[in-house]
Amino acid sequence: MVSMKDIAVACGVSVATVSKALNDQNDIGGETKEKIKRMAKELGYYPNSSARALKTNRTYNLGVLYKEESGSGLTHDYFSQILENFRNTSENGGYDITFLSNSKKRKDQMSYLEHTLYRGMDGVLIAIADYGDPEVMELLSSELPVVIVDYVYNGRISVMSDNITGMESLLSYIYEQGHREIAYIYGEESMVTTNRLSAYYRFHERKGMAVREEFLRRGKYRDSYTAGILTSQMLEQAHPPTCIMYADDFSAIGGMNAIKNKGLQIPADISIVGYDGITMASQLEPQLTTYRQDTVGIGSLAAEKLISLIENPKATPISQYVMNGELITGGSVASI
């Protein structure tokens, strides 16, 4: 294994000078620094992570808690895109990422927090989790740097999609097309669901429209099968809605199939809208009207704030950051 001493001998400098060059310190000349870095690369030098951790008190390893209940795992477009951008930004900052597992799946029965301490992780991103789980609350209550996606916890940095603005954008567009009978098949109980439902109720109140409770149905996020069943039930009502909103684009696809199975056309007979703005939504016929969330911004900002918490904790404010998305009008909403 190549050591810093080998590089020092090859370059005719001291080991201390090699260390300064490889750590990008400014008290040596730029030409010397580049020569040392070039020689290190030619010799195949790689810094020892254990030695680096001892010296810096950091492992440059970030944990990711991703406990997704629907079974879609990392194929979940919204979160997979957030995690991809989180990973890219983390790696650009010199950090690796490791996924956390809890005691229910680990033979050693370690909790999330115990796993982070065992692996020496510098901080954790909570992308999606059950916030009623004592292990999650233990992690949130610890002194470890933590950033959360789409959830607010006192004393922790949160990076969120603006679900209220997203719902209002969709509802305003639907309303402008003449619709007043607007149904909503929403997802499981969560902060995201609560905010979107609140926006739905407030919009109706602001426009002087009565909310028809039969137009509200609880489904599951990213579950096209359940969405299809609920859509069929909705269409069998004596006075069905003219437009149905879905919790996400995959659910909207399930609704679309149920509508077509009844011999109806979109948007001639009924209009629909999704949420998330996944790539598949733009490839449907008709193209799905939806709200594209800023997954690039959410993932990148989450990484930046977590690294800042680790490297400069006293100067990093604990705040909630809200990222706006974009309305995609598509062709699934008729003007009536």
Give the pLDDT confidence of 156-203 residue by residue, as tens digits: 999 999 999 999 999 999 999 999 999 999 999 999 999 999 999 999
- The structure tokens listed for 253 are 């696809």
Question: What integer pLDDT is reported at residue 261 of this predicted model?
Answer: 96
Asked whether the domain spanning 61-161+296-324 has the same topology as the one spanning 4-47, the reply is no
So what's the pLDDT on residue 298? 97
* Cα–Cα distance, 158 to 298 (Å, whole number): 10
N-term to C-term CA, the chain: 73
pTM for the structure as a whole: 0.80
Domain chopping of the chain, boundaries: 4-47, 61-161+296-324, 163-293
Q: What is the pLDDT of residue 58?
A: 76
- Rounded to 5°, the CA angle 218-222-227 comes to 45
Task: Write the pLDDT tens digit of every residue in 308-332.
Answer: 999 999 999 999 999 999 999 999 9
93, burial (CB in 10 Å: exposed 0-12, middle 13-18, buried 19+): middle
- pLDDT, mean of residues 31-36: 92
Q: Which CATH architecture has domain 61-161+296-324?
A: 3-Layer(aba) Sandwich (3.40)
CATH number of 4-47, picked from 1.10.630.10, 3.40.190.10, 1.10.260.40, 1.10.3470.10: 1.10.260.40
The rounded Cα 75 to chain-centroid distance in angstroms is 12
**Confidence label for 3 from pLDDT (cuts 50, 70 and 90):** confident
Residues 6+ apart with CB under 8 A from 271: 174, 177, 179, 242, 243, 244, 289, 332, 333, 334
Residue bearing the bigger pLDDT, 14 or 54 = 14
Confidence of residue 7 (pLDDT cuts 50, 70, 90): very high
C-alpha span between 34 and 151 (Å, rounded): 45
Confidence band, pLDDT 50/70/90 cuts, at residue 226: very high
Contact 267, 335 (CB under 8 A): no
Q: Which candidate, 112, 118, 122, places its Cα nearest to that of 52?
A: 122
Compute the average pLDDT of residues 298-308: 97
**What does pLDDT average to over the chain?**
91
Q: Give residue 51's pLDDT.
A: 55
Q: What is the CATH number of domain 163-293?
A: 3.40.50.2300
Average pLDDT over residues 1-14: 88
Give φ, ψ of 45 to 5 degrees.
-80, 135
